[in-house]
Amino acid sequence: SGLVFAKGEPESAREGESIFQDVTIPEAPEDQGIGTLVGMQNSFRSVAQKVLPTVVEVDTVDIVTQSFSNQSPFGFFFRGPDSNENTVPREFRRSGLGSGVIIYRSNGNVYVLTNHHVAGEAEEITVTLADERKFEAELVGSDPNRDLALLVFETKEEIPVIEIGDSDTLMVGDWVLAIGNPYGFASTVTAGIVSALGRETTSAGGSVTYTDYIQTDAAINQGNSGGALVNIYGQLVGINTWIASSSGGNVGLGFAIPINNAKKVVDDLLNEGKVEYGWLGITVGDASETIREDMGLGSATGGFVVGVIKDSPADKAGILPGDYITSIGGAAIKGRDELVVSVGNIEPGTTVDFKVIRNGASFDTPVTIAVKDEARLAESGSKMWPGFFPVSLTDELRERFSATKEAGNIVVGNVDEGSQAADAGLRAGDIISSINGKPVDDLSQLYRIINEAGTKNYEFTLFRRGEELKIQIRR
């Protein structure tokens, strides 16, 4: 007997014929569940066809200079390994790959939005469209604070432009598609949902930036940076930026910059050639449980003012170290990161009401925000007051610093470089016993003393490694 096929016919009966029949797809499946899946599939197809032509591959070249030794093999033994003689600087080309999104065109100029880390420092930039057309592009400008860059190339040809969406309308659970060029595989589409909104870089161990992030489980990998995150209408709602992964590959934790956060960057780069950020002039932290107890903050959320720069907008508005900022312009502040982002997003020159808690009481104060100037900030250390971060001594910290109860209850957590406190010799780990002869039992007392109006000189009695010493800090 011969082999039997699915229809039960013997093999000999189908000699020379294909075992595959013509396939037809029902136009309207009777099964409601299948009909729902078909509808979803058709929606994904429609979105992909609409968006794919607007997402490009961004190839970059950086010119990197390194010094190489040009000496003989014996030179090492006679001149020593630290010798700089006969070193020759050489340039080499370092290639990079990412993605970008065509967001605007005007008079033959086509603008592509991507990440700063993709193209913000590139010497050469090539943009490749989904239909494989290639164009040499130039950098209009970039913003490392939000990790965004704007490119431009010229052409009279027809170029598709993506539809811009509203990222503020996104909700957790919404379907999104990520489109880019992971590992150089052009025009790759992945689907997922919005896993979370308002994510901060510090939640993954990063530094504070002037944006929050959309978290998605749509697969994002290396090369996706700068690509599009779109909603079910094919509208751009985010720029794919980074992944949280120990392996460098997708683990379902992708992050995109909300498009509403990018709009100001694009407008500033097109109109001003640079991006300006608002500046308050403080150092800020989150309030620990001991800070809450000592300062009478209760359950209020906000940012704790650690230090204030002299003549800054905060200083001119009367904000003091130890204050707790709970809202800006009527919008509640959840923590340090949100305060930094909120201030940065305020147009310089704008006056905004800040709600502050001081000594347990809440009040409003108007603040006129200034322009953030990196050069000025680099020199602001000497103007920072008080120039150190005090911490209440817990039992654990008291044991770590071998501090007796008599030494005091406040320890110096860190000291700002270049500040008056640093110049006076204050060090991290010093235990503050009294200031100007007044005992310092908790943080509330410390801030009351250092904020006394009219006082310019402060004598600190400290304990360092069990020994008492005194230092003078001038305000």
pLDDT, tens digit, 9 for 90 and up, residues 32-43: 777 778 878 888
Q: What percent of the chain has pLDDT over 70?
A: 81
Whether 86 has a pLDDT exceeding 60, the answer reads no
Q: Evaluate whether 461 touches 438 at the Cβ level (below 8 Å).
A: no
Please report the sign of the dihedral spanned by the C-alpha atoms of residue 248, residue 253, residue 254, residue 258: negative
Q: How confident is the model at residue 4 (pLDDT cuts 50, 70, 90)?
A: very low
Of the listed ranges 49-58, 181-190, 205-214, the least confidently predicted one is: 205-214
- Catalytic residue (one of 225, 342, 380, 392): 225
327 vs 397, residue with greater confidence? 327
* Residue 257: how many other CB atoms lie within 10 Å: 26
What pLDDT, on the 0 to 100 scale, is given for residue 81? 46
Query: Mean pLDDT, to the nearest integer, of 272-280?
Result: 88
Q: How confident is the model at residue 2 (pLDDT cuts 50, 70, 90)?
A: very low
Give all strands (DSSP E) within 220-358, no chain letters: 228-230, 235-243, 254-258, 278-279, 282-285, 303-309, 324-328, 331-332, 351-358
Q: Token pair for residue 157?
A: 């040809």
Q: How confident is the model at residue 129 (pLDDT cuts 50, 70, 90)?
A: very high
Reply yes or no on whether 207 is catalytic: no
Reply yes or no on whether 147 is catalytic: yes
- Catalytic residue (one of 116, 117, 327, 416): 117
Whether 444 has a pLDDT exceeding 70, the answer reads yes
Q: Token pair for residue 8?
A: 């039960």
* Residue 278: how many other CB atoms lie within 10 Å: 21
Of the listed ranges 193-202, 372-381, 426-435, 453-462, the least confidently predicted one is: 372-381
Q: Evaluate whether 235 touches 258 at the Cβ level (below 8 Å).
A: no
Q: Evaluate whether 146 touches 262 at the Cβ level (below 8 Å).
A: yes
Which residues, 6 or more positions from 144, have their beta carbon under 8 angstroms from its beta carbon?
116, 120
Helix (H) or strand (E) holding 126: strand 124-128
Whether 97 has a pLDDT exceeding 70, the answer reads yes
Reply yes or no on whether 116 is catalytic: no
Q: Token pair for residue 318?
A: 């009367």
DSSP tag of 232: T
Whether 369 has a pLDDT exceeding 90, the answer reads yes
Q: How confident is the model at residue 77 (pLDDT cuts 50, 70, 90)?
A: very low
Give CA angle at 343 (309, 226), nearest 5°: 125
Q: Evaluate whether 115 touches 147 at the Cβ level (below 8 Å).
A: yes
What pLDDT, on the 0 to 100 scale, is given for residue 123? 84
Q: Evaluate whether 412 touches 429 at the Cβ level (below 8 Å).
A: yes
Q: What percent of the chain has pLDDT over 90?
A: 41
What string of DSSP letters covers 190-217?
A: EEEEEEEEEE-GGGGT----S--EEEE-
Helix (H) or strand (E) holding 68: strand 55-69
Closest listed residue to residue 442, CA positions, set 408, 475, 405: 408
What pLDDT, on the 0 to 100 scale, is given for residue 379? 66
143 vs 182, residue with greater confidence? 143
- Tell me whether strands 410-415 and 370-371 are parallel, antiparallel or unpaired: unpaired
Over the chain, what is the mean pLDDT? 83
Alpha helices in 232-368 (DSSP H): 259-271, 289-295, 313-316, 336-344
Which residues, 6 or more positions from 195, have their beta carbon under 8 angstroms from its beta carbon?
172, 215, 216, 217, 252, 253
- Catalytic residue (one of 143, 147, 217, 323): 147
Whether 362 has a pLDDT exceeding 50, the answer reads yes
What string of DSSP letters covers 418-438?
A: TSHHHHHT--TTPEEEEETTE
Closest listed residue to residue 459, CA positions, set 434, 426, 436: 436
Backbone φ and ψ for 134, nearest 5 degrees, come out as: -120, 145
Q: How confident is the model at residue 246 (pLDDT cuts 50, 70, 90)?
A: low
Distance CA 156, CA 162 (A): 18
How many CA atoms are closer than 13 Å to the CA of 291, on its beta-carbon side? 23
What pLDDT, on the 0 to 100 scale, is given for residue 427? 92
What pLDDT, on the 0 to 100 scale, is given for residue 403? 73
Distance CA 201, CA 197 (A): 12
